[in-house]
Amino acid sequence: MRDFTLDTYRSLLQALQQAGYRFVTMKELWEIQNGKPEGEGLFGRICCMRHDVDLRADHSLRTAQIEYELGVQAVYYFRVIPESNQPDIIREIAALNHEIGYHYEDMSICDGNMSKAYEHFCRQLEYFRIYYPVKTICMHGAPTSKYDGRDLWKRYDYKSLGVVCEPYMDLDYSRLFYLTDTGRRWDGFNVSRRDKIPVWQDRWVEKGLVFHSTADIISALSDPSTLLMREAPAILFTTHPQRWTDNKREWWQEYAVQSVKNVIKRIIIQ
């Protein structure tokens, strides 16, 4: 199985379904965590597919179509840059019954000026609400920027704007298994500058619950005796759909670019 193809992504979704996972959006995941409706506060065998649309928005449309075909709801976070912010694609993905959110990087865009960054955030939030009643947001890691987008919330409160969840700040990762394809691998947290969950790493990495390839995850899902199936009933995936393609030229291009980026990120982290 060649990794990061659309066929592989479809196989991952089907493996999750066969393992008995119910798919939820980010807003629904937050509601379940917080007991809404009453009595549903404990995580069950649920899965949230979070997609960060950093580049190549057309790739996100394809993964959204595959999910729709399989009856899966997901969440797509769009940046404001043209490579991500494609109005027609945002509309199409929303029409496929997926959640839309804002993938914010306002601190980097505004060079650390908090008041300007907050004004920019508010404008962009209202812009994305043209397409969908946005209730969740997610920071863009921006590994080459010296600014962490979440620092904006040291002064301001996104919940006053009707936002209920920022996954890096509002989810309980002590009860949630987190998998991200950052670095174009599922164990790339060592080359990630900001896509890190300390609680998750302390609990799961020490137990050895780490996967490198999508095939590794699919294999674990097929066996009820695996650590994944026994101890991690609730899963949050983060993918970057730009990486997932059946086009050989684009596949190799993404492989080469990400390999270079991983080296650069290691240097920055060190």
Alpha helices for the chain (secondary structure H): 6-18, 26-33, 57-69, 87-95, 106-109, 114-128, 167-170, 198-200, 206-207, 214-221, 227-231, 248-269
Task: Please check whether residue 90 lies inside any domain of the structure.
Answer: yes
**Tokens encoding 260:** 């270079």
Instruction: Tell me how many domains the chain contains.
Output: 1
> How long, in residues, is the chain?
270
Task: Please check whether residue 146 lies inside any domain of the structure.
Answer: yes
Asked if 168 and 150 count as a contact pair (C-beta separation under 8 A), the reply is yes
pLDDT at residue 191, rounded to an integer: 59
Q: Does position 267 have pLDDT exceeding 60, yes or no?
A: no
Q: How far apart are CA 197 and CA 173, in angstroms?
A: 8
pLDDT at residue 94, rounded to an integer: 98
Q: How far apart are CA 260 and CA 242, in angstroms?
A: 16
Asked if 125 and 163 count as a contact pair (C-beta separation under 8 A), the reply is yes
Task: Please check whether residue 1 lies inside any domain of the structure.
Answer: no
pLDDT at residue 173, rounded to an integer: 86
Read off the pLDDT of residues 33-53 as tens digits, 9 standing for 90 and up.
998 766 566 678 999 999 999
The more confidently predicted of residues 197 and 200 is 197
Tally of CB atoms within 10 A around 24 = 22
Task: Please check whether residue 152 lies inside any domain of the structure.
Answer: yes
Task: Please check whether residue 37 lies inside any domain of the structure.
Answer: no
Task: Please check whether residue 232 lies inside any domain of the structure.
Answer: yes
Read off the pLDDT of residues 84-133 as tens digits, 9 standing for 90 and up.
999 999 999 999 999 999 999 999 999 999 999 999 999 999 999 999 99
Is residue 175 very low, low, confident or very high in pLDDT (cuts 50, 70, 90)?
confident
- Across the chain, mean pLDDT equals 90
Task: Please check whether residue 115 lies inside any domain of the structure.
Answer: yes
What residues make up the domain containing 101? 6-16+24-32+43-269
CATH number, position 155: 3.20.20
